[in-house]
Structure 1
Amino acid sequence: MPRRLYLERFGPVHALPVLHYRMEFAHLVRMAFEQVRPQAVAVELPPTLEEPFLRGVRRLPQVSVISYRIDPKIGKAQGETAYLLLEPADPLVEAGRMALERDIPLHFIDVDTDVYPRHQERLPDSYSICRIGLKTYYREYLKVSAEFPHCKEDLRREQGMAFRLKQLAERYERILLICGMAHLERIRQLFSTPLAAPLERIRREGVSLWNLHPDSCREILAEFPFLSAVYEQRRGPLPEEPRESGSGLRKRFHALELINGGRQELSEEQLLGNAIQRSARHLGQKGLFPDRQRIIYQLFCEAGRHYRQETGESVSLWQKRAFFRFARNQALAGGQLMPDLFQILAAGRGCVDDNFAHALCRLATHYPWQSETSDLATIRISPEDLWGDVRRIRFRPRQKRRKGLSSFGFLKRKRERRPGEWLEGFDDPSICSYPPEDLALEEYGRFLKHKGCLQLSQEQSRSEKFSTSLLDGIDLRETMRNLHEGGIYVREQRRIRGGVGSLVVIFNEDRHGKGYPYRMTWLGEHEQESDMAFYATDPTENVVGPGICRCEYGGFMLSYPPRRMLDVWHDPEYCTATTRAELLLMAALDYSLERHVIYVAARPPRSIFRQLAARMDRTIVFIPLGSLSPLKLKQIRIMHILAGRDKRPIAREYIW
Structure 2
Amino acid sequence: MPHRLHLEQFGPVHALPVLHYRMEFAWLVREAVHRVKPDCIALELPPTLEAPFRRAVARLPEVSVLRYGTKVKKGHEETVYLLVEPADPLVEGARLGRELGIPVALVDVDTDSYPLHHEALPDPYAIHRLGLTPYYEEYRKGCATLSHGPEDRRREQGMAFRLQELSREHGLILFICGMFHLERVKEEFGRPQAAPLERVRRENVALFNLHPDSCREILGEFPFLSAVYELRRDTLPPEPVDGSATLRKRYSVLELIEGGKREIPEEELLRHAVERSARHTGREGEFPDRQRIIYHLFKEAARHYRQETGEPLHLWQKRAFFRFTRNYALTGGMLLPDLFQLLAAARGCIDDNFAYAFWRLATHYPWQRTDADLPTLAISPEEIWGGARRIRFRPRQQRQKGLSHLGFLKRKKEKRPGEWLEGFDNPAICSYPPEDVVIEDYGRFLKKKGAMQLSEELSRTEPFTASLLDGIDMRETLRNLADGRIYVRENQRATGGVGGVVVIFDEDRDNRRFPYRMTWLGEHDQESDMAFYATSPADNIVGPGICRCEYGGFLLSYPPRRMMDVWHDPDYAFARSKAEVLLLAALDYSPEKHVVYAAPRPPRSMFRQLAARMGKKIVYIPLGSLSPVKLKGLRVLHILHGHDKREIAKNYVW
- Establish whether residue 217 from structure 1 lines up as the match of residue 215 from structure 2: yes
3-state secondary structure, aligned to 1:123: coil
* CA distance, structure 2, for counterparts of residue 388 and residue 25 of structure 1: 24
Partner Cα separation in structure 2 for residue 545 and residue 267 of structure 1: 21
Superposition deviation, residue 621 in structure 1? 3.1
Q: Which runs of 5+ in 2 are unaligned?
A: 253-259, 400-404, 460-467, 479-485
Letter in 2 for 1:16: L
Name the aligned partner's letter for residue 181 of structure 1: M
Q: In 1, distance between residues paired with 2:620 and 2:313?
A: 24
Q: For residue 112 of structure 2, what is the aligned residue in structure 1?
A: 114
The residue that corresponds to 1:258 in the other structure is: none
Q: Which residue of 1 aligns with 2:426?
A: 422
Alignment partner, residue 599 of structure 1: 598
> Given that residues 456 and 621 in structure 1 are in contact (C-alpha distance below 8 angstroms), is that contact kept between their aligned partners in structure 2?
no
Corresponding residue number in structure 1 for 2:620: 620
Q: How many angstroms does 1:384 deviate by?
A: 1.7
1:160 & 1:459 partners in 2: Cα distance?
A: 82
Instruction: Tell me what 2:203 maps to.
Output: 206
Residues 624-643 of structure 1: CA deviation (Å, up to 9, x unaligned): 1784216x63345415488x
In 2, Cα distance between equivalents of 1:649 and 1:264: 30
Asked whether the equivalents of residues 108 and 155 of structure 2 are also in contact (C-alpha less than 8 Å), the reply is: yes
Contact kept, 8 Å, 1:7 with 1:14, in 2: the verdict is: yes
Change (3 A) 1:187 1:248: same
Structure 1 counterpart of 2:312, which letter?
S
2:83 matched to which residue of 1? 85
Is contact 1:4-1:135 (8 Å) kept? Answer: yes
> Which residue is 1:629 aligned to?
629
- Separation (CA, whole Å) in 2 of partners of 1:37 and 1:346: 44
Structure 1 distance, partners of 2:373, 2:431, is: 64
2:553 corresponds, among 527, 530, 555, to 555
Q: CA deviation at 1:117?
A: 1.6
Instruction: Tell me which of 188, 194, 197 is aligned to 1:197.
Output: 194
Aligned to 1:485: none
Letter in 2 for 1:196: Q
**Contact 2:548 2:636 (C-alpha < 8 Å) held by counterparts:** no
One-letter amino acid matched to 2:110: D
CA distance in 2, matches of 1:114, 1:276: 40
Per-residue Cα deviation, 1:409-433 (whole angstroms, up to 9, x for no partner) = 8669996679x8534x7xxxxx886
Distance 1:159 1:548 in 2: 74
1:453-483 deviation line (CA, Å, top 9, x unaligned): 889999999xxxxxxx9x87999xx9xxxxx
Change (3 A) 1:146 1:273: same
- Count of matched residue positions in the alignment of Structure 1 and Structure 2: 606
2:137 alignment partner in structure 1: 139
Q: 1:318 aligns with which of 314, 322, 332?
A: 314
Question: Offset at 1:20?
Answer: 0.6
| CA distance in structure 1 between the partners assigned to 2:137 and 2:299 by the alignment | 37
What SS does structure 2 have at the residue aligned with 1:515? coil
Contact 1:112 1:200 in 2 (8 A): no
Correspondence list, 1:10-159, <5 A: 10-73=10-73, 78-159=76-157
SS at match of 1:236: coil
Give 1:67's aligned amino acid.
R
Alpha-carbon offset, residue 80 of structure 1 = 1.1
Partner-residue secondary structure (3-state), 2:118: coil
Query: Over aligned residues, Cα RMSD in angstroms?
Result: 5.0
Given the superposition, is the C-alpha separation of residues 158 and 503 from structure 1 closer, same or farther in structure 2, using an over 3 Å criterion? farther
What is residue 384 of structure 2 aligned with on the other side? 386
Secondary structure at 2:314's aligned position in 1? helix
Amino acid at match of 1:342: F
Whichever residue aligns with residue 287 of structure 1, its letter is G
Show the 5 A alignment for 1:172-187.
Answer: 172-187=170-185
Q: Which amino acid aligns with 1:634?
A: G
* CA shift for structure 1 position 245: 6.0
Letter in 2 for 1:114: D
Query: Residue 473 and residue 44 in structure 1: after superposition, are their counterparts in 2 closer, same or farther (change >3 A)?
Result: farther
Deviations 1:101-152 (CA, angstroms, capped at 9, x unpaired):
2222333333333322212223233233333333343333334333544444
- What SS does the corresponding residue of 1:14 show, helix, strand or coil? strand
- Give aligned-pair identity as a percent: 53
CA, structure 1 residues 235+521, in 2 after alignment: closer, same or farther (shift >3 Å)? same
Per-residue deviation, 1:295: 3.3
Equivalent position amino acid for 2:236 in 1: L
User: Normalising to structure 2: TM-score of the pair?
Assistant: 0.74
Query: CA contact under 8 A between 2:597 and 2:618: conserved in structure 1?
Result: no
Give the secondary structure class of the aligned counterpart of 1:80. Answer: strand
Q: 2:228, 2:277 within 8 Å by CA — same for their partners in 1?
A: yes
Shift in CA distance, 383/250, structure 1 to aligned 2, threshold 3 Å? closer
Q: Which runs of 5+ in 1 are unaligned?
A: 255-261, 426-430, 462-468, 479-489
Letter aligned with residue 107 of structure 1: A
Q: Confirm or deny: 8 A CA contact 2:110 2:198 kept in the other structure.
A: yes
Cα distance change, pair 163–654 in 1 and its aligned pair in 2 (3 A): closer
Q: CA deviation at 1:507?
A: 2.1
Matched residue SS, 2:128: helix
Offset of 1:70 from its aligned partner?
Answer: 1.9
- Within 1, Cα distance between the matches of 2:269 and 2:243? 12
Q: Counterpart amino acid of 2:205?
A: S
Code of the residue aligned with 1:224 in structure 2: it is: F
**Aligned counterpart, 1:292:** 290
Which residue matches 1:511? 509
User: Which amino acid is 2:23 matched to?
Assistant: M
- The answer (yes or no) to whether the contact 2:456–2:491 under 8 Å persists in 1 is no
CA, structure 1 residues 191+472, in 2 after alignment: closer, same or farther (shift >3 Å)? farther
Q: How far apart, in 1, do the equivalents of 2:76 and 2:583 lie?
A: 74
- Give TM-score scaled by structure 1 length: 0.74
How has the CA–CA distance of structure 1 residues 493 and 96 changed in structure 2, closer, same or farther, with 3 Å as cutoff?
farther
Distance in 1 (alpha carbons) for counterparts of 2:365 and 2:541: 41
